[in-house]
Amino acid sequence: MSCSDCQKKKDSFTRHNLLAGIFAVSGIAVLYVNFDPVPRGHDPAAAQLEEVDLSEFTSFTNVSSGFMKKVQAEEFDEPQNSLGKQPIQTAMIAEPVASSSNDVLHSSAEAGSALSQLKTCQGEDAVKLIQSILEEGLENLKQIPDYTTTFIKQERIAGSMTEPNLINLKIRHEPFSVYMKWLNGDKGRELLYVDGENNGDMVVRVGGVRGRFLPALNLNPLGDLALQESRHPITQIGLANLIRKALEFRERDLNNLDNLNCWINDGVTFDKRDCFEFVVEYQEKRPIHEYRKSVITIEKSLGIPVGVKNFAWEEQVDSVDANNLDKSTLIENYAYTNINYTRRLAAAEFDKSNQNYRFIK
């Protein structure tokens, strides 16, 4: 066999090996991109959403009853301690403290009766009633050191409404701490913020394929990058902050009674909880009015808001449908579902080195 024949066979063998190698690497890449493995330290508390019906959440005319009927989610498992061995002791929250000046929180039945009598009230009476209930709700939350919930967020960003984001959320009140894990959209994204730690920054790991390659980032919660996909910073999330903001608005309402219409819708069921809705709508835009209209859904037994929809002024959106003003001006849509007030969270649940999270590779 001549040297030229040997060289040809050698070149052919090399080409075949090279092609085989390319096909093998391509196959592995396809499997890697499309296969969603259980991540290191899989969090057993992450909800597995098999079928999600967000029709009521995205409905603009029927605001709450029967919401999330088809959400299939696992109950949060009992948390583990920092060693991952023994379950953390849980404690039931105390009974809600009834206001001496307002008896609407003594029980769901009594609250329903009181609200049924006042559901047609407007103006100052309605605002003061909501103030009293929200203040009771804030007092009730002070008895709860932490909680878990499925948070649902939909906002108008860069002129367009986003698809609803479903997020596993853990909140601790002192020090204020937040852990979030996205269940859809950028699925697998994680965010951790603890007041007074990490130089005031939140730590974020993106989801999807990028999250397998990119390191976690430290971001200023008030910075432009952190607020690219959110209308509010992480420091404002949670039920207690929602109540404080609502109370701030109600205080303004009392000083602008000539410019608002407000009423109460009783008999509302939200996430299998007895609730009512407080609706406030402003007649003209004034500097103090951030929104044109707001709808707050409040759980009766604890006086805690579990959902809120805010609507922009007409000039603040690109296109307005005169036949469906609310739909075309909806700017924020938030809900807290599957709330668990009784689970106590270990300190490790707000530690970026927790092996159930993927902030550190």
pLDDT single digits (tens) 79-136:
333 333 333 222 223 333 333 323 333 334 444 444 545 456 677 888 998 999 999 9
Do both 5 and 116 map to the same domain?
A: no
Do both 188 and 313 map to the same domain?
A: yes
Do both 30 and 114 map to the same domain?
A: no
Is 159 part of any domain?
Answer: yes
Q: Which CATH number fits the domain that encloses residue 315?
A: 2.50.20.10
Is 323 part of any domain?
Answer: yes
- pLDDT for 337 equals 95
Do both 337 and 195 map to the same domain?
A: yes
In the chain, the number of structural domains is 2
Identify residue 129 by its one-letter amino acid code: L
Backbone angles phi, psi at 198, to 5 degrees: 55, 35
CB count in 10 Å sphere of residue 55 = 13
- pLDDT for 179 equals 97
Is 58 part of any domain?
Answer: no
CB count in 10 Å sphere of residue 146 = 18
Do both 219 and 316 map to the same domain?
A: yes
Cβ density class 219-240: b for 16+ within 10 Å, e for less: bebeeeebbeebeeebeebbbb
Q: Which residue numbers in the chain have pLDDT < 70?
A: 1-121, 211, 361
Q: Domain span at residue 21?
A: 1-35
Q: Rounding to the nearest 10 degrees, give the CA dihedral for residues 137, 140, 146, 149.
A: -40
Is 73 part of any domain?
Answer: no
Is 80 part of any domain?
Answer: no
Q: State the Cα–Cα distance between residues 63 and 333, nearest whole angstrom.
A: 10
Is 98 part of any domain?
Answer: no
Do both 255 and 136 map to the same domain?
A: yes
Q: State the Cα–Cα distance between residues 242 and 220, nearest whole angstrom.
A: 21
Do both 18 and 126 map to the same domain?
A: no
Do both 22 and 124 map to the same domain?
A: no
- pLDDT for 297 equals 95
Is 162 part of any domain?
Answer: yes
Do both 144 and 1 map to the same domain?
A: no
pLDDT digits (tens, 9 = 90+) for 129-164: 899 999 999 999 999 999 999 999 999 988 888 889
